[in-house]
Chains A and B, each alone.
Chain A
Amino acid sequence: MAQEDANVIDQPEVLRHRMVTIEISGKKYEVPEGVTVIKALWYTGQEVVRGAGCLGGFCGACATYYRTKDDPKVRTCLACQMAVEDGMSFTIMPPFPARKALYDIQTLKDPKQDLFNLYPEAPLCRNCNACTEACPQKIDVREGVWKAVFGDFKSVSEMFMDCVMCGMCTPVCIADIAPNLVALYVSRAQGAHFTERPQGLETRIKEIQDGRFNEEWNKVLAMNEKELADHCATVK
């Protein structure tokens, strides 16, 4: 099978398999190079309950602080999306007690003004940029907070479409803003109050209510198995 052998991808971690030393919450362990942070936890015998969710980089449950060898900079990552390297040190972030404002999104009278009642700290941003640096999704969080304050809700909703609500932007804020929660409010307000209602959708709902498809339904639902299969085959 010479041809098949040619179709093999080189993998450095398999070719030169080695163990590396990492630090988990201050304790040293040996783990295989290149496994994800979350797999390193399992490898070292730890039971993981808090700190793991979708394992696909979408739910934000595994927000983690880490530092690489000899670098003073503490960075953030999602533990399921980050490979370990020698000398790396990490700690999974515990849940941070950020304050979430409560609101009924549909009955807001003036959502752009209401922002300041719900999140009065939002305009107090001091531009330190720590939130942006803390975002594992590379969102320009600081810019988003300013845009929210200046009422550019549309831009905020676009910028924060990548937000997994991990909350990493919150503990670093010197003005006690929870930028992800501010952005969530702003995005919802944008959708509920400042986005056109789709006419086609309203039309379709009305058509269903008015029974526009009833005749076709009756025809389809009266078919026997064979007729239905044949009919399905004609739908292109």
Chain B
Amino acid sequence: MDIHALQQIVHQTRDARRKQTIPKFSAADCDQLIHTYHPDYRASAYRPIRFGPNANDKTVIELAALLEGDSPIADNADLTPHYTTDVLVIGGGGAGCAAALHAHATGAKVILATKLRLGDSNSVMAQGGMQVSVAPEDSPVTHFLDTLKGGHMQNDHELLKVMVEEGPSIAKWLIELGVLFDRQADGNLHVKKGGGSSKPRLLTCSDYTGLEIMRVLKDEVLNKKIQLLEFCAAVELLSDDNGHCTGAIFKDLDNHRQVVVAAKSVILATGGIGRLHIQGFPTSNHYGATGDGLCLSYRMGAKLDHIDTFQYHPSGAVYPEQLIGALVTEGIRSEGGHLVNAKGERFVNELDTRDVVSSSIIRECEEGRGIRTMSGRVGVWLDTPLLDAEHGPGTVEKHFPAMMMQFERFGIDISKDPVLIYPTLHYQNGGVKIDTNSETNVKNLFVAGEASGGLHGRNRLMGNSLLDLMVFGRRSGLTAASRAGSMQQGTLTVKHLQRFRAEAKKHGNSSGVISPMILPAYTRKE
């Protein structure tokens, strides 16, 4: 049927739906819904990891294969360094930039290496905002409790307390660098309410929050003349005789040469795993989101946390085909957008946590109340025109310019027509276990941002990722830099790799794949 004919039910039911209040599910109902429909509970998608620091823990098969994968580096590789530095930051997104800037500010020598360009990351796409408890009726403690509840009480309390308490000072740092957060008429920061949050707490720059922050941080990295190694993909870490981290080996993607960097400490800010397309899901993630940091730290002996849980963002585009997996920001639901099934009914409180909303969408679709596309996808409607009806014409265009433009390019006006959505693989809830200085159990190996784990428990709240990047980027950068003065550069070996290979052999060898993946294999072979 023509898409406009199918959309009619959304237009026809809008006024009736506006009068409706959908209560949130009880805790027990949430649990049951998630256990039945959330992809994290699909047992057939999981298997135990055979060896390494998380031996016998379960994770998705796509990630298990990479963690058990072999390194491209030989035991006897030439490790003569091409560069020497105090702090080596791997990754050029939000956490990497924040780490590099803070380490540099203390006077340490910093190199920032990234496999794409500086700033090509998920951070740049963050639309929803950054949670900081600035409103008078809000507090860091409330932020803590909301996040804990959203994470199913599994969050690391110490990490979480650090994040919520440092939020306001991070906002101040960004404002002083020139980040233009939306303001109220009285000059105070405007705050929006996000899913799973009891108070309005999202700082935004329209729907370009991540882009605005990243434009400024990238510019600042360049202004500070921090040494960059772009198009250099980390393929192995280096360790000394004590197993402490002492640098990394890169593959220069332009000329395929090996680049060795000796460093007193290493900060991995390599982001998430969306491009592994776990369970066949499309993803909202950037081109390089292949979990490289997880593989590298795992071989070094770093323990992973919550590595069995992923976030499927409720609203990934399903139509048009060109936008599949792309995010339709949660901001639309924050401002009152309804989720509507093929019968024109709402089926969930749209501001429940992401795992609950996603599970409910999957339920609607599995029970036959979804809308199908001819290319075999299924989804439900997100009633975007409702925002104009509710808050006045022009609201969608004014508050969501990025969204408007993205769909307009394919001839769709989201202020007039609803959007078809289905959950998309969005975020790795867990990652490498860190302490409050962002350090792993491997000395001098730090992990910051999405690659780290523990902070978000089993489900991250909207707006907590941008804050995580900034807070733990800063902490890792400051701690790593503060050590540099009082320590010598350690020796460069790959002894950790020899140990890892011996263990693999004991357990029937590696998975047969070479990891890290670096980039997804989208190129069609003949």
State the A residues within 8 Å of B (CB): 1, 3-4, 6-11, 13-15, 34-36, 39, 42-50, 52-59, 61, 81-83, 100, 102-106, 137-138, 157, 161-165, 184, 187-192, 195-205, 208, 213, 216-217, 220-221, 225, 228-229, 231-233, 235-236
Nearest chain B CB to A98 CB, angstrom units: 12
In the complex, besides A45-B524, A198-B189, 5 extra interface pairs with C-beta distance below 8 angstroms are A9-B374, A205-B169, A216-B139, A216-B141, A217-B141
Q: Is B321 an interface residue (CB 8 A)?
A: yes
Q: Is B430 an interface residue (CB 8 A)?
A: no
A105 / chain B contacts, CB cutoff of 8 Å? 177-178, 220, 223
- Cross-chain contact A36 with B322 (CB below 8 angstroms): yes
Known A49-B519, A232-B153: A54·B122 in contact at CB below 8 Å: yes
**Contact flags (1/0) for B241-269 with A, using CB distance below 8 Å?**
00000000000011000000000000000
Known A81-B409, A201-B172: A190·B178 in contact at CB below 8 Å: yes
Known A208-B168, A213-B139, A231-B145: A9·B371 in contact at CB below 8 Å: yes
| Choice from A11, A82, A235 contacting B142 with Cβ under 8 Å | A235
Known A4-B368, A104-B223: A192·B176 in contact at CB below 8 Å: yes
A3 / chain B contacts, CB cutoff of 8 Å? 368
Nearest chain A CB to B145 CB, angstrom units: 5
B373 / chain A contacts, CB cutoff of 8 Å? 8-9, 11, 14
**A–B pairs, 21, beta carbons within 8 Å:** A6-B1, A7-B6, A8-B374, A9-B2, A9-B371, A14-B375, A35-B322, A45-B523, A48-B523, A49-B253, A55-B287, A56-B286, A59-B125, A81-B406, A199-B188, A201-B168, A201-B188, A203-B136, A231-B145, A232-B145, A232-B146
- Cross-chain contact B374 with A102 (CB below 8 angstroms): no
How many A-B residue contacts, CB cutoff 8 Å?
236
A195 to B175, CA, bound (A): 9
Nearest chain B CB to A135 CB, angstrom units: 11
A231 / chain B contacts, CB cutoff of 8 Å? 145
- Cross-chain contact A42 with B321 (CB below 8 angstroms): no
Q: Most A CB atoms within 10 A — which of B140, B176, B322, B375?
A: B322
Nearest chain B CB to A45 CB, angstrom units: 6
Q: Most B CB atoms within 10 A — which of A44, A47, A59, A190?
A: A59
- Cross-chain contact B148 with A228 (CB below 8 angstroms): yes
State the B residues within 8 Å of A (CB): 1-3, 6, 27, 116-117, 119-122, 124-125, 133-136, 139-142, 144-146, 148-149, 153, 157, 161, 165, 168-169, 171-172, 175-180, 183, 187-189, 198, 205-206, 208, 210-212, 215-216, 218-220, 222-223, 225, 231, 253-254, 284, 286-287, 319, 321-322, 326-327, 342, 368, 370-375, 401-402, 405-406, 409-410, 420, 519, 522-526
A13 / chain B contacts, CB cutoff of 8 Å? 321, 375
A187 / chain B contacts, CB cutoff of 8 Å? 178, 180, 215
- Cross-chain contact B286 with A83 (CB below 8 angstroms): no
- Cross-chain contact A235 with B198 (CB below 8 angstroms): yes
Nearest chain A CB to B123 CB, angstrom units: 9
Known A9-B6, A187-B180: A55·B188 in contact at CB below 8 Å: no
**Closest residue on chain A to residue B120 by CB atoms:** A53
Nearest chain A CB to B320 CB, angstrom units: 8
A56 / chain B contacts, CB cutoff of 8 Å? 125, 284, 286, 326-327
- Cross-chain contact B153 with A228 (CB below 8 angstroms): yes
- Cross-chain contact A201 with B189 (CB below 8 angstroms): yes
A225 / chain B contacts, CB cutoff of 8 Å? 153
**Closest residue on chain B to residue A55 by CB atoms:** B287
A205 / chain B contacts, CB cutoff of 8 Å? 168-169, 172
B139 / chain A contacts, CB cutoff of 8 Å? 213, 216
- Cross-chain contact B219 with A188 (CB below 8 angstroms): yes
A232 / chain B contacts, CB cutoff of 8 Å? 145-146, 148-149, 153
- Cross-chain contact B141 with A213 (CB below 8 angstroms): yes
Nearest chain B CB to A9 CB, angstrom units: 5
A162 / chain B contacts, CB cutoff of 8 Å? 208, 401-402, 405
- Cross-chain contact B215 with A163 (CB below 8 angstroms): yes
**Closest residue on chain A to residue B7 by CB atoms:** A9
Known A10-B2, A200-B189, A236-B198: A220·B144 in contact at CB below 8 Å: yes
B117 / chain A contacts, CB cutoff of 8 Å? 53, 59, 61
**Closest residue on chain B to residue A221 by CB atoms:** B157
A10 to B1, CA, bound (A): 5
A160 to B212, CA, bound (A): 10
| Choice from B176, B205, B222, B327 contacting A100 with Cβ under 8 Å | B222
A103 / chain B contacts, CB cutoff of 8 Å? 223
A42 / chain B contacts, CB cutoff of 8 Å? 522-524
- Cross-chain contact A235 with B212 (CB below 8 angstroms): no
A187 to B175, CA, bound (A): 12
A46 to B211, CA, bound (A): 29
- Cross-chain contact A7 with B1 (CB below 8 angstroms): yes
**Closest residue on chain A to residue B326 by CB atoms:** A56
A196 to B189, CA, bound (A): 10
Q: Most B CB atoms within 10 A — which of A13, A191, A228?
A: A191
| Choice from A14, A48, A104 contacting B374 with Cβ under 8 Å | A14
- Cross-chain contact A165 with B188 (CB below 8 angstroms): no
- Cross-chain contact B177 with A190 (CB below 8 angstroms): no
Known A191-B179, A200-B136, A205-B169: A184·B322 in contact at CB below 8 Å: no
Q: Most B CB atoms within 10 A — which of A35, A200, A229?
A: A200
Nearest chain A CB to B171 CB, angstrom units: 6
Q: Most A CB atoms within 10 A — which of B134, B139, B215?
A: B215
A82 / chain B contacts, CB cutoff of 8 Å? 409
Known A9-B6, A48-B523: A201·B211 in contact at CB below 8 Å: no
Nearest chain A CB to B492 CB, angstrom units: 27
| Choice from B121, B133, B135, B253 contacting A59 with Cβ under 8 Å | B121
- Cross-chain contact B125 with A1 (CB below 8 angstroms): no
Nearest chain A CB to B136 CB, angstrom units: 7
- Cross-chain contact A198 with B175 (CB below 8 angstroms): yes
A137 to B404, CA, bound (A): 11
- Cross-chain contact B374 with A53 (CB below 8 angstroms): no
B526 / chain A contacts, CB cutoff of 8 Å? 45
